[in-house]
Amino acid sequence: MAQVVVSGSIVTARSKPDGASTRVLKEGGLCRPLVVSVPSFGRHHRCRSIVVSRVTDTTSTTRTVNGSVKSEGVVRDAIAEPRAVVPPSNTGFMSVGAVITIVRKQRPSRDEQMTNAVDVFSDLTGSKVFLQLVSVEKDGTAIGVGKRSKESFIKDWAQKATVQADKVQYTAEFNISRDFGEPGAILIRNTHQAELYLESIALQLPSGTVYFPCHSYIAASIHDPKPRVFFSNKVYMPWETPDGLKDLRKQELDTLRGNGKGERKSWDRIYDYAVYNDLGDPDKKFDLSRPILGGKEFPYPRRVRTGRDPCKSDPTREVKIVNGEAVYVPRDESFEPIKQTNFAANSLRGLVHKVVPAIRDYFNLTPGEFDSLKDIEQLYQEGLEMGTDTGENPLPDFVKGLGSGRKETPDQTRERNRVLDGLPIPDYYREIVRSTTTPTSLLKYPLPRILSKDRSAWMRDDEFARQALAGVNPLVISCVEEFPLRSTLSPEEYGPQESAIKPEHIESQLEGLTVAQAMEAKRLFIVDYHDVFMPFVKRINELEGRKIYATRTLFFLHHDGVLKPVAIELSLPPPAPDSSGSKRVFTPGKDATSFWLWQLAKLHYCAADSGYHQLVSHWLRTHASTEPYIIATYRQLSALHPIAKLLHPHLRYTMEINAAARQNLVGAGGVIENTFTPGRYAMEMSSAVYDLSWRFDKESLPEDLIRRGMAVRDADAPHGLRLRIEDYPYAADGLLVWDSIEQWVRNYVSLYYPDSQTVLRDVELQQWWTEIRTKGHADKKDEPWWPKLDSPQNLVKILSTMIWIASGHHAAVNFGQYDYSGFVPNQPCLARRLVPEPGDPEFQCLLRNPQKVMLDTLPGQEQSTVVMMVVESLSTHSPDEEYLGYNGMHTNWTSDGRAVKAFKAFSARLAEVDKKICERNADLTLKHRTGAGTLPYQLLLQKSGPGITMRGIPNSISI
């Protein structure tokens, strides 16, 4: 081992003999002077950990990360007895030590390695990372300007160049006067060539440690010459801002707002609004042109402005980013270095299919069709067959090994690397594939849980209905309030408004009740997609390989508490105005033919449900609607503001995910258009839903349940609500989580807003809410239903709704995707054929081979496997995920002990919620969550390990 002197404790960077590594995450970063020992067996050996000795008041646990062991964290103060160094002579000055925690990139590219080496040399010659303290006390007579120390710098950058760890702690020292006052901010200039990721700074004064949570990229000063400002973890209401920090509070907000002009650079941190005018690519191809979302014609939430050049063929639209080039988001909204590596690893399987068109010459891919259900099940046992040799274009040896499970030979590895070097993919993906010695895993799929207990569960009617309450999209089912069912669409354009479902279709299945009696007893429920899809059906059915109906599905709640489907209506628009459209009603089959027709009707319902889930329940209601909250928060709430502190964990990574989605998923020619029912009309359809039904005041869980008739207010019931279906897993568990969030927010808000006058007085807060309504959701700005921000109670409701959407709501609709949609027949992304009608040639095919008709209706092999890859990635928890009620990396997020105490109580409540959910999942009377072949409902359990677990609530929309 080689030692590097840093400054009094021992820090050892060590590697395990098997190549795995241990990472200890240290929050706060302040240590005594210490010695760093690094392996002496080669400069390029990479160790992922620094283990600090003599750390007090700490705990840690470990878990596996991509084959390595990762510490769950050294919690509280991961600091080795911090102390200040005070000169012995009474000179009027004192020396104050600081420890700066930098997160390093795990897989730097060759160019980055070269730049880092240059930075080490330049650091020795004076081009350093400079720091300057700012006091909370004003500087003489200057208004709003704090005292400032002389600039110091990171002292040991070059000495620690060979420490290969995820996080490295550096030291600095400040010389300040004894009357300097309390440091409230630190200014930083990075004169290196490379940006750095600063996690935290811990400063030790004689009075104790002052923490500066940063979690930020620091651009090189050649790109951004203005010093960066970081405030301590104290909070101040706008009118309480110390004189020394007033100018910095204003300047930082001005920087984040920008001036609304010019193209954003990758290092910018500017938050501004724009419409969705970047979804299409009209310069490339006319059929890739898409409507602009945001405005009178197509209302939509706003996204972050990038300022990219306009298209040549249409200057109202932004030019499309070329594949592989990053889409701008404010720099601190990008993934942190560790998260970036984990995200790349989780996305690897999706990458294989994404680049298939570019590597056909190597793979000779012929996706074909599934010939039987067994072909689909083999994907989880053997992987996808990628093709066979042809004399004209032989497959590389490493491709022949895909699915074999055999370890590569050295010759196969060299061949694989040669192929990889020619692929148009980012370097970090290339390196991950290059490091894989058994490429089988790239194309072999894990077994979805829907198949884990009962491989035929997906065909059962009770499971079909159960998933409307506990599946991937339990947010649509509603209580039937009128019968016959009626549409609100124009009868001249879309045919008769009255549904074709008649009492005689369903009354034999209602346990002796009439329809009126079933409605009176609140036992009749519906998932109604008729009015959502009908305006798009004709256009969608004109697309190649897509057939869709406007669907209605009725369910009945049996006396034993089990929900079952009783009828499905499939409707087509009339061929001409004023003519009647086609409305077909299907009921559970009593003979072989009606059984298969019923199965096809269920398939079409699921295809519609799948598209609605992705576009509305998932994308629109979480990702798209949350982005304006993020923009407004950083534009209007200072980092010193208590509400900014509260919201920060729930806003992280969402803009990065959304930018990637606009580029690869929801944009023209993306995964959603290519593989889901609505095709090129997908985003236009989500705009229509936003226009007709999105309301902020109905986005909280209780209000959403009441709106759908799934709950009524009842002061004597738990949560003040009585559920129409007691065994409604999403609602029952969700209300436990919602109440915990609301109580936490109420306790936190009460610390800073004792009365309505305080809320009204807060200029930053009022501007924040005004901007969300008038700019972020500008197309809804005049709606009367927006809550008024005039009391602590309304502030609690607003904040609880935002946090619920980013955490519990998103977890419920996201992390079960692979286990339900990963088996294509259970939740098909689209349908390719209409249901055969008697007299048609296709009906004779149904009589001869019904399974083949079903397989021909399901998406083909290529579409199915792409969706499987995508939902596998979306359902995967990152190893460094931060979960609701856990501090994660943000242990020193506030200095307010009252807030810390309230947060611990929140975490304890969520632990009790977990116990209650586990008890429910063991209760055999709750048949929608337990029983033979039934999956327990775990999506709203608090925490998860890495991977596909079907549980866990991340703090934010981070995937």
Residues belonging to the active site: 618, 623, 810, 814, 959
As a whole number of angstroms, the distance between CA 913 and CA 86 comes to 49
DSSP 607-625: HHHHHHIIIIIIIIIIIIH
Q: At what angle do helices 841-848 and 592-612 cross, to 10 degrees?
A: 110
Question: Which residues are paired to 173 by β-bridges?
Answer: 97
A 10 A CB-CB count for 751 gives 13
As a whole number of angstroms, the distance between CA 751 and CA 754 comes to 7
If we measure between CA atoms, which residue out of 575, 570, 573 comes closest to residue 549? 570
User: Which amino acid would we find at residue 881?
Assistant: E
User: Which amino acid would we find at residue 710?
Assistant: M
End-to-end CA distance of the chain: 40
As a whole number of angstroms, the distance between CA 588 and CA 566 comes to 7
Handedness of CA 704, 709, 711, 712 (dihedral sign): positive
**Cβ–Cβ < 8 Å for 220, 195:** yes
As a whole number of angstroms, the distance between CA 154 and CA 170 comes to 6
Question: β-strands 22-23, 68-71: how paired?
Answer: parallel
As a whole number of angstroms, the distance between CA 474 and CA 463 comes to 13
**Cβ–Cβ < 8 Å for 924, 930:** yes
If we measure between CA atoms, which residue out of 755, 880, 749, 870 comes closest to residue 802? 749
**Cβ–Cβ < 8 Å for 280, 293:** no
If we measure between CA atoms, which residue out of 34, 9, 25 comes closest to residue 60? 25
DSSP 540-562: HHTSTT----EEEEEEEE-TTS-
As a whole number of angstroms, the distance between CA 57 and CA 447 comes to 42
**Cβ–Cβ < 8 Å for 172, 198:** no
**Cβ–Cβ < 8 Å for 528, 569:** no
As a whole number of angstroms, the distance between CA 569 and CA 585 comes to 4
- Tokens 């807003």 found at: 753
Here the tokens at position 544 are 């190649």
User: Which amino acid would we find at residue 186?
Assistant: I
Cα angle 240, 244, 248 (rounded to 5 degrees) comes to: 90
As a whole number of angstroms, the distance between CA 275 and CA 305 comes to 8
- Contact partners, residue 247, CB within 8 Å, separation at least 6: 144, 145, 146
